[in-house]
Amino acid sequence: MKHIIAPSILSANFLNLEKDISMINNSDAQWLHVDIMDGVFVPNISFGMNIVSQIKEACEKPLDVHLMIVNPDKFLLDFKKAGANILTVHQEACPHLHRTISAIRNFDMKPGVAINPHTPVSLLEDIISEIDLVCIMSVNPGFGGQNFIENTFHKVAKLKELILRKNADTLIEIDGGVNLNNYKRLIQNGADVLVAGNTVFGALNPQETINELAKPVVK
**pLDDT tens sequence across 12-21:** 999 999 999 9
How confident is the prediction for the chain on average, in pLDDT?
Answer: 96
Across the range 121-140, mean pLDDT stands at: 97
d(Cα 156, Cα 196) in Å, to the nearest integer? 17
Residue type, 136: I
d(Cα 82, Cα 84) in Å, to the nearest integer? 6
Across the range 75-87, mean pLDDT stands at: 98
Residues annotated catalytic, as ranges: 35, 175
Domain 4-213 adopts which CATH fold?
TIM Barrel (3.20.20)
In the predicted structure, residue 150 carries a pLDDT above the cut 80: yes
Across the range 22-32, mean pLDDT stands at: 98
Share of the chain above pLDDT 70, in %: 98
pLDDT tens digits, residue range 45-76? 999 999 999 999 999 999 999 999 999 999 99
CB-based contact 213:2 (threshold 8 Å): no
Cα 63 off chain centre by: 10
Across the range 149-176, mean pLDDT stands at: 97
DSSP 135-189: EEESS-TT-SSPPPPTTHHHHHHHHHHHHHHTT---EEEEESS--TTTHHHHHHH
Q: What's this model's pTM, rounded to 2 decimal places?
A: 0.97
Amino acid 24: pLDDT: 97
Domain boundaries, the chain: 4-213
In the predicted structure, residue 145 carries a pLDDT above the cut 70: no
Amino acid 141: pLDDT: 85
Backbone dihedral angles phi then psi of residue 115, each to the nearest 5 degrees: -130, 135
* Confidence band for 219, pLDDT divided at 50, 70 and 90: confident
Query: Where does the chain show beta strands of DSSP type E?
Result: 4-7, 32-37, 63-68, 86-90, 110-115, 133-137, 171-175, 193-196
